[in-house]
Amino acid sequence: MEEEKKLPLRKILVVEDNQDSRELVVKILRNKGYQMIEAEDGEQAIEKALAEIPNLILLDISLPKLNGYEVARRLKEIDAFKDVPIIAFTAHAMKGDREKVLIAGFEGYISKPIDVRELPNQIKAYLRGKWESVLGGEQE
């Protein structure tokens, strides 16, 4: 599609210890023209983030070695990541989790299981700076 071809190259780091889930995300987004980088635990996430400086990080919360909260906290201390959206990739859909990830330094979240058709739109919106706000959305 024309519109997708015009997208500048965008590098995305997917951090997910579940291989099937990770590969599905990679496949969908690679088909949309994104350059995909993968990590399967928290330490590898930090190593790859520092080496590649991706444009967006999709970060699972429950990970071996370092959890997603800790990875996000460490990366947000580094200047190069101040403007890189870090999106929580989480199966938790409990009330209050949204606030928890936003307060922890994430710019938003994408729920698992992913919506295969919506994922590219969600990623595109986050790359365009449509970040979640703790104050916006989720009406009582």
Least distance (Å) from Mn ion to the CB of residue 123? 19
Could you report how far apart the first and last alpha carbons of the chain are, in Å?
39
| Percent of the chain that is helix, strand, coil (3-state, to 5) | 40, 15, 45
Question: Residue 24 or residue 127: which is nearer to Mn ion going by CB?
Answer: 24
Rounded distance, CA 83 to CA 103, Å? 16
Cis preceding-peptide flag for 54 (omega within 30 of 0): no
Question: For Mn ion, what does the binding mask look like between residues 12 and 31, x meaning CB under 5 A?
Answer: -----x--------------
Taking CB under 5 A as the binding criterion, the range among 21-29, 52-60, 67-75, 109-117 that sits at the site for Mn ion is 52-60
Least distance (Å) from Mn ion to the CB of residue 63? 5
Interface with Mn ion (CB under 5 A), residue total 3
Entry field: residues in the chain:
140
Question: Residue 111 or residue 131: which is nearer to Mn ion going by CB?
Answer: 111
CA angle 116, 118, 124 (to 5 degrees): 120
Question: Residue 80 or residue 93: which is nearer to Mn ion going by CB?
Answer: 93
Rounded distance, CA 108 to CA 94, Å? 15
Question: Residue 16 or residue 132: which is nearer to Mn ion going by CB?
Answer: 16
Short-list 134, 138, 107, CA closest to 123: 107
Contacting Mn ion within 53-112 (CB under 5 A): 60, 62
Question: Residue 17 or residue 43: which is nearer to Mn ion going by CB?
Answer: 17
Binding positions for Mn ion, rule: CB under 5 A: 17, 60, 62
